[in-house]
Amino acid sequence: DIVMTQSPDSLAVSLGERATIHCKSSQSILRGSNNKNYLAWYQQKPGQPPKLLVYWASTRKSGVPDRFSGSGSGTDFTLTISSLQAEDVAVYYCHHYYNTPPTFGQGTKVEIK
Amino acid sequence: QLHLVQSGAEMKKPGASVKVSCKASGYTFTAYYIHWVRQAPGHGLEWMGWINPNSGATKYAQKFQGRVTMTRDTSTGTAYMELSSLRSADSTIYYCAASDASQGTLNWYDPWGQGTLVTVSS
């Protein structure tokens, strides 16, 4: 199974500042046949299910604020919140769907400093 | 708009089975795979398997083989996940989630159901 490791486990950022979350896969999740990275990012607020933010590592879902951006390729990926807002307090998960079984990172908790 | 609504919380005794439902609306039921993911405290998100609502084909995570059964009722647009031989470690929240079948089984999940809490206790 591909292991997804996120860092840090938690971070506290001031309102309006940048938050950066890293996700590393134990093997490449870039498929050569279509040059796509099989990685998604989700946001989960307390008492709610995860919500899709980004897929194909860098494609933002329609309706997601543009302060959220995904980047990276191969085994190293990043989710960046360019200007943290109060409503962004949540746990963020990366998820590979490169093969079966799909797996998730352990989550990164983002709080306000 | 795609929407998934799950059945309510369940309390079961060890050794029993639980069956959780996931009703889809706002789209053609057979156009999206339904995946089941559970979230245990300290264990993050764990994929359990998927069902193709069109064919009824299923794929289960090895960990749950022999204990999980995923089915669907196309007449009501509802998917089901049954987990048997319950133990305390199965006490957690279970989610259903949809993925676009046109892109195959390797896909992101959107949307998710609201979650169903299953508690296993004697």
Q: What is the tens place of the pLDDT at every residue in A23-43? A: 999 999 999 999 999 999 999
Residues in chain B with CB shorter than 8 Å from the CB of A100 are 59, 105-106
Residue identified by tokens 């998710």 is B112
C-alpha to C-alpha distance for B57 and B59, rounded to whole angstroms: 7
What SS3 state is found at B75?
Answer: coil
- The answer to whether residues B72 and B82 touch, using CB atoms and an 8 Å cutoff, is no
Q: What is the DSSP letter of A33?
A: T
pLDDT in tens, A54-102: 999 999 999 999 999 999 999 999 999 999 999 999 999 999 999 999 9
Task: Indicate which of A59, A79, A104, A108 best probes the interface with B, i.e. most B CBs within 10 Å of its own CB.
Answer: A104
End-to-end Cα, chain B, rounded Å: 41
Contact B112 A102 (CB under 8 A): no
| Assigned token pair, B77 | 């647009």
**Contact at CB, A55 and B108, closer than 8 angstroms:** yes
